[in-house]
Chain A
Amino acid sequence: MLYSLIKKIDKKLKFPVLSAHCDIPCKIYDPISAQIAVLTIIRMVDLLEPLKAKSSLTLDEQAEMIRLVNQKEKHGIKVKEEICIIWGDYIKAPQLTQYPELHELTHNIMLASSQAKQHINRDAAMKLLDLVNRFAEIFWATKQVSTFSALCPYPPAQTLIYPQLQE
């Protein structure tokens, strides 16, 4: 009775909502978010390089540089987060037995992502892409999904590992 009464009052007054938050294992894992984040880093580097070559920047150029560096930084963190989630939540003993390089590869991605964040350096960003692509290749292999490499159809037009989902 009390519940019904409170519910009626809620309909009128709209009580605030409290979340009793859950962390249900959803099993939704895909390295594509990390791969796209690396592409963003490369793209940011491509856009930053002309600014880097200039001896001085106008106010507009400084504003542009800040925005680009911000995005590069954000996506460097995103790469780390996305890879860590797959590594921590999905990768378990069977995958590690099959691919013992996974721990070292993940650690190398963390280091390479830091390098890509610290510098405006295309080589550092490309190294990160190679590592993340390898991670994606292993990820799909552990799911018995074959992969293919193709150029992404947008800038920075780099090679990505994609899952072959239609066979």
Chain B
Amino acid sequence: MFGFHFCKVTGMSMSPTIPENSYVFVVPWLKILNLKEGALLKVFHPRYGYIVKSLAKVDKNGLFWLKGHHKTSVPIEKLGPVGKSQIQGKVLWVFPPKP
């Protein structure tokens, strides 16, 4: 509605970049821009549902490969590539919980 929204993050696969229970500020329309490696993305994954991951690389077929930042994250090859239509937005800001 406003061209942005907040989401709450559960799980620790993006820790320490996005600690568990953080809030993230997501801008859906920013996905139309050229996404660079390391960008934090909100993605609708066919197996894992709505997830937040970091962009590992864009392959020659234009598919997006995602990765987590924590050692417990689902590995990149298990997540598999996603198409641009599955990207729901780019995370602009992270609001971690108080330590």
CA of A29 to CA of B7, assembled, Å: 34
Interface size bracket, B side: 20 to 34
Selected from A9, A10, A18, A20, the residue in CB contact (under 8 A) with B15 is A20
The answer to whether B73 and A23 touch across the interface, beta carbons within 8 angstroms, is yes
Q: Is A107 an interface residue (CB 8 A)?
A: no
Between A2, A16, A18, the greatest number of chain B beta carbons within 10 A of the residue's beta carbon is seen for: A18
Return the chain A residue nearest B53 by Cβ.
Answer: A20
Complex alpha-carbon distance, A64 and B52, angstroms? 42
**CB pair A6 B6 closer than 8 Å:** yes
Report whether B13 and A20 are in contact in the complex, using a CB–CB cutoff of 8 Å. Answer: yes
A20 cross-chain contacts in B, Cβ below 8 A:
9-15, 18, 20, 51-53, 68, 70, 73
A-B contact count (CB 8 A): 83
Q: Which of A1-33 contact B (CB under 8 A)?
A: 2-4, 6-7, 9-10, 15-24
Q: B8: shortest Cβ distance to chain A, in Å?
A: 5
User: Chain A contact residues: over half helix, strand or loop, or mixed?
Assistant: mixed
Contact A7 B11 (CB under 8 A): no
Given known contacts A3-B95, A24-B72, A19 and B10 CB-to-CB distance under 8 angstroms: yes
Interface size band for A: 10 to 19
Rounded to whole angstroms, the CA-CA distance of A10 and B6 in the bound complex is 9
Closest Cβ of chain B to A26, distance in Å, is 11
Question: How close is A102's CB to chain B, nearest CB, in angstroms?
Answer: 23
Nearest chain B residue, comparing its CB with the CB of A22: B72
- Residues from chain B with a CB closer than 8 A to the CB of A17 are 7-10, 50
Minimum CB–CB distance for B73 against chain A, Å: 6
B5, A22: Cβ atoms closer than 8 Å: no
Q: How near does chain B come to A16, taking the closest CB pair, in angstroms?
A: 5
CA distance A120 to B75 in the complex (A): 38
Q: Which residue of B lies closest to A6 (CB)?
A: B23
B98 close to A (CB within 8 Å): yes
Our pick among B8, B12, B15, B73 for the contact of A15 (Cβ within 8 Å) is: B8
CB within 8 Å of A: which B72-98 residues: 72-75, 78, 95-98
A117 to B66, CA, bound (A): 34
Interface residues of B, Cβ cutoff 8 Å to A: 5-15, 18, 20, 23-24, 42, 48-53, 68, 70, 72-75, 78, 95-98
